[in-house]
Amino acid sequence: MHTLEPYWNWRQHYTAEEDERSPFHGREYSEFEFTNAVYDHVLHPQWDEIGSETLYIKILFADYEDGYCIIEMIGEWNDLLHNDIMLLKRDIIEQLMAHGLHSFILIGENVLNFHSSDDTYYQEWWEECEDAGGWIALLNFRQHVLADMQAIDLDRFFISGGKLDAIDWRTVNPEDLYERVKGQVVKRLGI
């Protein structure tokens, strides 16, 4: 896992450490010190901590004018032991929403497992996004992770699967990715 870097090709468009509204503003990264790990697997130092022992993220892009954010994730999403959704929602998402972001694209191809608890924070996040005219889309999550979310009916808070998983997001710029995802969301939600 130490060789899996967050997607870097959009850095000319946005970097969270230079964004004064980002929870990671001012952060400095090492290319050589590997201090974070998921269990016994060290992570590349470019991933950002959210307070979880197993889930890390990278804000790849934020557009405050159009109100959306693209976040890449890595590790194990574990609500059961670490309440990862609470950490993500309270410490990251709420700060971004306070600055007008209301639509979120979560890229989860490097999320290896999901362990559920209750749906309180998911429902709260969805309602806040919906009230602001936004949504939460899951892109490229592994099928077993989506199945674990569906098993407790969390998929009602996300737009996922279908054509969303066919988007080769690394081949487009962040604005085009947003438009493609938004197009699918509009079709599904009828908004």
Condensed to tens digits (0 to 9), the pLDDT of residues 118-160 reads 899 999 999 999 999 999 999 999 999 999 999 999 989 999 9
pTM of the model: 0.94
DSSP 8-state code for residue 159: B
Structural domain includes residue 39 = no
pLDDT of residue 5: 85
Sort strands 68-78 and 37-38 into parallel, antiparallel or unpaired: unpaired
The CATH number of the domain holding residue 152 is 3.30.750.24
Residue 105 included in any domain: yes
pLDDT of residue 173: 96
Predicted confidence band of residue 31 (pLDDT cuts 50, 70, 90): confident
Evaluate whether residue 183 is within a structural domain. yes
CB atoms within 10 A of CB 128: 15
Within a domain: residue 26? Answer: no
In a domain, 18, yes or no: no
Torsion of CA 135, 10, 98, 54, to 10 degrees: 80
Is position 145 within any domain?
yes
Give every CB contact of residue 14 below 8 A, 6+ residues apart in sequence. Answer: 59, 60, 61, 62, 174
pLDDT tens-digit series, residues 39-88: 888 888 899 999 999 999 999 999 999 999 999 999 999 999 889 999 99
pLDDT of residue 50: 95
To which H or E segment does residue 78 belong? strand 68-78
In a domain, 5, yes or no: no
Task: Report whether pLDDT(187) > 90.
Answer: no
pLDDT tens-digit readout, 89-105:
999 999 999 999 999 99
Q: Note down the domain range covering 151.
A: 48-189
**Residue 81: both structure tokens together:** 């032991």
Q: Number of structural domains, the chain?
A: 1
pLDDT at residue 191, rounded to an integer = 63
